[in-house]
Each structure stands twice: as C-alpha cells, then as structure tokens.
Structure 1
Amino acid sequence: MNDRRAWAAVASFPPHPRNVRHARRITRTALAAWGATDLVDSAEMVVSELVTNAMRYGSGPVDLTLALTESGLRVSVTDEGTALPTTREAGEEALGGRGLQIVRLLAESWDVVVRLTGKTVTCVLALDPKRAEDAATAAPAEAGRAVTLSREAGA
C-alpha cells in the first residue's frame, strides 16, 4: 500500500429494511473506489448479515463503518440495542438464523463491544498482501483518506 494509513467510509441510517440494500451498495461503492474489488462479495454478505441483525434485534439508528487497511477490511455495525448477538443452529428448512455463521465463515475474526448505549459488532476480512499492494496503486491519490456517507433519520 502507499503512504495512506486507511481508507474509511461511515454511514448512519434509520432501522428500515430497505437500508440493508443501501449498506450493501455503500460497501460495493467504497471497495471499488479503493481498488479492493476482490473483497466485494464477502464484504457485501457480511455487511448484509450484520446490518440485518442490528435492525432485527437492535434498536435506534444503525451505523456502518468500513475501514480498509494494509491487512484487511474492518466492518463495524453499531446499534443502540442491548441484545447481544448469538449464533444459532438453523434447521435445513429454516429461512433465517444463519447470519453469524456466515460472518464466522467469511471473516478472519469477529467480536462484540458492549457500550453504555448499545453495542458494536466488528469483523475483519483478510486482504491478500499482494492484492493490497495492487489496490494501493490503483486507487487515485486525490481521492482522500476518508469518505463519510450519512442519511438523516427522516429520509
């Protein structure tokens, strides 16, 4: 990678089901801008599962933070709910219940940080060192170090 420390994108939105789609689009757009397209499929899946869980089991607005470093992509999803995520054993016919299993399969690591006003679930998707170097040379230098995307609660 070049001299940048990390690329970051931040989005905040109300807990409405349509915003899962927006979170995936933000992820895809950010990774394309950063030249890390090899992470798009896994990152979109992880973001989709974590944002869906935050909306289903959490409360309040949902914050999504993506940070691309030399070693990988850190995905963090924050909500104001007190319910902690738990992995479940989904039956063959079950339509849901596999979200954290998917995260565990795709991510190098994941954890939960409980805060005074909610929780943050974070996972890391590993970036191949050679691809990190390629992404650094592909990303335009004038693009800046951070991108902040937000949507007001009433929108």
Structure 2
Amino acid sequence: MKGMISMAVQVGHRTAHDPARASALPAWRQAHPGRSLLPDSLRGGQHDHGHARTSWAARQMALWSRVLAAPSASAIRPRIRDTSWPVAREAASVGRTRRVLTTQLSSWGLHELTDTAQLLASELITNALRHAHGPIRVHLRVHDAFLRCEVEDADPTGPVPRTAGADAESGRGIELVVALAQTWGSDSTLTGKTTWFELPLPGSGHDSTYAAPTQ
C-alpha cells in the first residue's frame, strides 16, 4: 500500500518500472471502489466528495450567472479632440479649410464656435498664403476649456497688429483676431512660426474679451 501511494505522488520524477506494483494497482482499485490513492492530507482533508462537488458547482453557477455591465466607450478610449491637416498653397485652400472646420467642430459638438473659428482661421491662412513661403498646416484641438487653432508656416516673422484704413480692402486679419479671440499669439519654430488663437468653449464660464498676445 505505501509503495503504491509513493508511486502515485512522485510527480516529475522518473522511477524504474516495477511489474509487481503495476499488477497490484488494478486489484487494489477493484477492492476499494471510489477510494483515492492520495491520503486525506493531500486531498485537503475532504471526505464528503458529494458536498465538495456541489459547492464547486454552486460557485461556478454564481460566477457565470452574474450580469456584467458593458464598459462605456469613454472608459475604453478617452475622447480625443485633436486633429491637423496640410493646406495647399492655392486660393481655394481658404474655403476648403472653412468646410473642414465646420465638419470637425460639428463632430465635436461645438457648433456655436463654427462661425468665429472659420473667420479667424481664414484670416490666418490668408496671411500665410500671402506672406510666407513653403508648407502650411492647420492644427485644431480642444484643451482645458478652450478651442485652439494653430496655423503653421515657414516664415519666421510674426504678425503685427495694425489698424487698417476705412477704405482698405485688406490688412484686417490680425485686427479681427485681436477683437474676437480670447487670446492669440505667435510662437517661433525650427522651420518658421505658428500663429494661433483660442476661443472659450460654450458654457466654460470664460468670456471672449481680448487678451494680449503671447510671444
């Protein structure tokens, strides 16, 4: 008996084949139906096998019968409101940017900012097309309680606000940005500059009074 138990519990070790032990095992099992070769200490001391099986089944039923709430979309992926696109060096790019802005702000639920953002972005792109050379890019994103629009170009010279004459047909771009944006500015980059403006989000509690530009 002890030899059979020893043979049963030796896991991971090779033992020599013992014909006597091998022939004794079927006979012992026939004489002791339902008994395990392992002592109670190795089987957790459980003698009531029916109760153990019932408890395990009950635990499984309780586990798999629970109704789990599906994770929300925000928990899976936080909402990101940040996008950018290149602007071709052609007059049609101004109108194209206005349409892209309308679509993007609509998808973000910021319809109230569309008109102002369109107007100010158009002025910045027009300035970039007129005064800068090289590639132009628009970057639109929401941060904190503001919508920020950036226009990047290859001209290192920043815009200078000036008052256009009453009969002037141009020169009011930065003047409009100063009047309508919460704040605006121009930052130098390795390849030129980025001119930007910010508008407060609806319901954010920020007014749209003029703030001095940051350099």
For Structure 1 versus Structure 2, the TM-score category normalised by the shorter chain is 0.7 to 0.9
Q: What CA distance in whole angstroms lies between the structure 2 residues aligned with 1:34 and 1:23?
A: 16
2:95 pairs with 1:32: no
Determine which structure has the larger strand proportion and give its number.
1
Instruction: Measure the CA separation in 2 of the matches of 1:74 and 1:87.
Output: 19
Query: In 2, distance between residues paired with 1:30 and 1:128?
Result: 16
Q: How does 1:7-26 map to 2 (within 5 A)?
A: 7-26=81-100
Residue 69 (structure 1) shift: 3.3
* Alignment partner of 1:123 is 2:123: no
Q: Equivalents in 1 of 2:132, 2:97: separation in Å?
A: 16
Deviates more, 1:36-45 or 1:2-11: 2-11
Q: Relative contact order (C-alpha < 8 Å, sep 6+): which is higher?
A: 1
| Identity percentage of aligned residues | 34
Distance in 2 between residues matched to 1:17 and 1:51, nearest whole Å = 10
Q: In the aligned structure 1, how far is the partner of 2:153 from the partner of 2:88?
A: 10
Q: Which residue of 2 aligns with 1:62?
A: 136
Q: Look up the equivalent residue of 2:175 and give its one-letter code.
A: Q
| Alpha-carbon distance change, 129 to 9 in structure 1, aligned in 2, over 3 angstroms | same
The letter for the 2-side match of 1:31 is L
- Unpaired segments ≥5 residues, structure 2: 1-73, 206-215
2:127 matches 1:49: no
How many correspondences in the alignment?
130
1:6-45 CA-to-partner distances (Å, cap 9, x unmatched) read 4012110222111011111111110011111000000000
TM, length-normalised to structure 1: 0.77
Structure 1: runs of 5+ lacking an equivalent: 132-155
Aligned residue for 1:100, secondary structure, equals helix
Q: 1:109 is aligned with what amino acid?
A: T
Q: Distance in 2 between matches of 1:35 and 1:64?
A: 20
Counterparts of 2:204 and 2:88, CA distance in 1: 38
Q: Check conservation: 1:14, 1:60, Cα contact below 8 A.
A: no
The answer to whether the 8 A contact 1:67-1:73 is kept is yes
- Mapped to 2, the partners of 1:9 and 1:54 lie a distance apart of 19
Which amino acid in the other structure matches residue 36 of structure 1?
L
> Is 2:151 the counterpart of 1:77?
yes
Q: Which amino acid aligns with 2:168?
A: A
Q: TM-score, normalised by structure 2?
A: 0.57
